[in-house]
Amino acid sequence: MKRTPYTPKDFSWAKWTQKDIKTLVPKLLAEKKERLSVIKKVPKVARNFENTVYAIEDSDYGITDTILKIDLLQNVSPLKTIRDTAKKTIDTIQNKLIVIERDPRIWSALKDYEQGAWKKEQETLDPESKKLFLDMFQSYKRLGFDLSPQKQKRVRELSQRLAKVSNEFRQNINAYEDHILVTKDELDGLSERYKEGLKRAKDGRYKVTLAYPDYHPFIELATNEVKRKELAEKSLQKGGRKNMQVLGEMIKLRILRSHILGYKTHADYKLEPRMAKKGDHAVAFVNDLLKKVAKAGKQDIDELRDLKRKMTGDKKAVLYFYDIAYYGNELQKIKFKVDSEEVREYFPLERVIEGTFKIYSTLFDVKFKKLSGFILWHPDVLFYEVTSAKGEFLSTFALDLYPREGKYGHACVCDIVNGRKVSLNKNDYVAPFGAMLTNFPKPTSKNSSLLSHGEVETFLHEFGHMIHHTLTTAKFASQSGCHTAWDFVEAPSQMLEHWAWDKKPLALLSAHYKTGKPLPPTLLKNLLASKKHLLRYGILRQLILATLDLTIHTKNKPPEPAKLYRDLIKKYIEITLPKNAIFPAGFGHLEGYDAGYYGYLWSNVYAADMFTRFEKEGIMNKKTGADYKKWILEKGSSQEEINLVKGFLGRTPDNKAFLREIGEFGFLKP
């Protein structure tokens, strides 16, 4: 299928003004209404797949692209005025689209098709088209069209309010800023490179913010316990008290809506179209793992406590929440002879990007080319195109790698244009475009951007999402790229994290930032051995977060989230958090991943199983990579996810590889 390359004019939206954004609202809404009106006018007897099902799918095309661009600007624009305008615009559009799209006549059109032409056409439709209809029919049914008009109205009102407060929750996290002030002596343990990257206050002291490149090295390396405590306590306030109120309203709205729609809990509502299907299934999955991991994870914490007592000479020393990263790093140096700062010197960001491109070029037979002349939303943003090995254009993507005020504070991939056929009857294909957002250390005139090994994993993970998005060949946008079941969407990127733990890809990803020399053999050996370092605690922490998420979304009278989190940390890790800690206020996954955080571990089961082919056939094996591209990356959700994994593995997937992997690290008894 032919894909047309983008030109600089295609990205004029990156410089939209407040006026530009505001004027889009009536145009988008009018266009959506017009497209749906055409569908509603089709006579019942004339309904078919193309003028009903595909027409509903197609009614989003172009419009959704524009909405996603506005949404991106509210997360990345360096101008607060643009971010604020984009936020208000998204709120308005979401609220009005809920009314426009939840038109009972569109539901009637789908039912007319289901009772008429579907019975004949399903014999001739291709599998993707059949799945499109079945998924669409279910999604409309889940909107409550079988309810009374009064209840439909109430569902619509709740959904509108929920869209608004969800956006507010996310923006409060992005906009939240705080810092501590430290003297040079209080930066003991941190590198000169780190110190030079910090901003200074008027009195000359250094500002350590909550931004990833400031926070994580400090909490891991600073010898000053008092200052680690001060910074960690501020981090536990991220999002602010106001966001706890917003979260409370979000949870209440979700419960009310799920009940009206006929679901026992919000989790049941959210998980119905996912692999888990029901909230109870996700809870059982998490609880089963907790039984296996809790004791082993606690042993990791005990080991850190023992180390603190040994290093401080205080036999009664208490391990606090702000000690875990610090003594974890100290233990890594002692146990595995790995100094995280020494390792960082071998992972300059430029090399990680270059190495990642080489890995994917080998595995998936594609090429990456950096483009110039494209003016995007910030000068730091890098822009690339992806082509086949023969030079055929496939897609483009942007890398927005460094933190700045008001920008999204974590790491993610935003799908802006989703791959799809231009029309049902033409072979031309709309090329995907996505943006990868991270917050890695920004290079300066004196220092390179150096990544920790954990940040290298993060890069591989997020770029795994990007490659899933950009290499899609799915016919429909709603099935392309990362548009899979939410408890599978992490599997492809998690599978690619394994490349951070193998000698061959590490040789491509690493080189000393000054000398260009490879990781020394001993350091490489120790780094690979350190894969088990605090892994039990890491899995336990994921399970705690999944439990937090599922508890507040499977209870009709959920406990207060901040207290619940403090109680879970106390129960499973035996560490006491401050009574005023409001971690959930800054836990962005509670918006978007609500009732879905378990999916990280659920999808890891499939990721571990898929990796067994590379493990057996070679981590850089082109044939295996081609099969992975064919079955997992290109197809999106055009087939059921379980069938895609079956196709790649050549067998029914199971959890043996996952259990074996965690069993190797002492989670399970042999």
**Whose CA is closest to 235, among 591, 568, 583, 584?**
583
Q: Are the beta carbons of 205 and 455 closer than 8 angstroms? A: no
Tell me the CA distances in angstroms from 129 to 50, 126, 132, 477, one per residue in order. Answer: 10, 5, 5, 12
Q: Are the beta carbons of 610 and 651 closer than 8 angstroms? A: no
Q: Are the beta carbons of 49 and 121 closer than 8 angstroms? A: yes
Pairwise CA distance, residues 311 & 581, whole Å: 28
Active site residue 462: yes
Pairwise CA distance, residues 609 & 614, whole Å: 10
Q: Sign of torsion, CA 335 340 346 352?
A: positive
Q: CA 295: distance to chain centroid?
A: 29
Q: Give phi and psi for 165, each to the nearest 5.
A: -75, -30
DSSP result, 196-236: HTSEE-TTSPEEEESSHHHHHHHHHH---HHHHHHHHHHHT
**Whose CA is closest to 139, among 291, 274, 232, 247?**
274
Alpha-helix runs per DSSP H in 366-516: 453-470, 491-496, 503-509
DSSP result, 399-415: EE-S--TTS--S-EEEE
Give the helix/strand (H/E) hosting 369: strand 366-370
Pairwise CA distance, residues 82 & 16, whole Å: 8
Q: Are the beta carbons of 92 and 76 closer than 8 angstroms? A: no
Pairwise CA distance, residues 587 & 564, whole Å: 13
Q: Which of 57, 330, 462, 490 is catalytic?
A: 462
Q: Are β-strands 393-400 and 433-437 bridged in parallel, bridged antiparallel, or unpaired?
A: parallel
Pairwise CA distance, residues 646 & 650, whole Å: 5
SS3 at position 278:
coil
Those residues whose C-beta lies under 8 Å from the C-beta of residue 418, and which sit 6 or more positions away, are 64, 65, 430, 432, 469, 472, 477, 478, 480, 481, 483
Q: Which tokens sit at 594?
A: 């609500």
User: Which residues face 415 on adjacent strands?
Assistant: 434
Q: Which tokens sit at 146?
A: 């079988």
Q: Are the beta carbons of 577 and 236 closer than 8 angstroms? A: yes
Q: Are the beta carbons of 416 and 72 closer than 8 angstroms? A: yes
Longest Cα separation, the chain: 84
Pairwise CA distance, residues 487 & 272, whole Å: 11
Q: CA 590: distance to chain centroid?
A: 12
Q: Are the beta carbons of 643 and 608 closer than 8 angstroms? A: no
DSSP result, 532-581: GTTHHHHHHHHHHHHHHHHHHHH-SSPPPHHHHHHHHHHHHH--PPPTT-
By annotation, the residues acting in catalysis are 462
